[in-house]
Amino acid sequence: MDRNLYLKTTIKADTEYLTLINKLTVDICSLLGFDKESSNNISLSVDEAVTNTIKHAYKMDKTKNIEIEYFTKNKELVIKISHTGIPFTPDKLILPDMEEYLKKYKKGGLGIMLMVKFMDSVEYGSENDRHFCKLTKKIK
C-alpha cells in the first residue's frame, strides 16, 4: 500500500507504556500492509529500543520523556525513538557468545540482536540535543 504516514507521540520513560506502544506499532504496521508476523517483529524491535532507552539512557527515571515518531519515506516505515538521556554508543557494544549465553540461561541482552535481525536498518545518532535509535523496514 502506498500511503503517507506521520505520527509522533511522547511517553514517560515507564515500562507501563510498552503495551500501548506495542499495540500502536502493530496497528500502524497493519495499516501499511505488513503481515502479522512482520508487524509483531517490528513491534518487538520498537519494544526493545524503548526498553533500552528506559533502562540505559534514563536509568529507570519515570519523570523523563521518550519521543516516538512513525513515518513513511521512500516506501519504508521509519520509527525513530529519541531521548535526552545517556547516548548509546554502538561501537562499545559487545554481542554475547550465544553458546555461553544458552549454557548459563541468561536473561536479557539480546534486544539489539533481535532488532538487527527483524529490521532492514538500525541506526543510532544524535541531533538537536537528542539521541535516537532509528528503525527502518521496507514496505512491500
pLDDT tens-digit map of 67-79: 999 999 999 999 9
Please provide residue 111's backbone torsions phi and psi, each rounded to the nearest 5 degrees. Answer: -55, -50
Q: Is 53 exposed, middle or buried (0-12, 13-18, 19+ CB in 10 A)?
A: buried
Per DSSP, the residues of 45-91 read HHHHHHHHIIIIISTT-TTSEEEEEEEEETTEEEEEEEESSPPP-GG
Q: Which CATH superfamily is domain 6-138 in?
A: Histidine kinase-like ATPase, C-terminal domain (3.30.565.10)
pTM of the model: 0.87
Q: How much of the chain is helix, strand and coil, in % rounded to 5?
A: 40, 30, 30
pLDDT tens-digit map of 15-32: 999 999 999 999 999 999
pLDDT band at 59 (very low <50, low <70, confident <90, very high): very high
Mean per-residue pLDDT of the chain: 90
Q: Mean pLDDT across the stretch 82-109?
A: 68
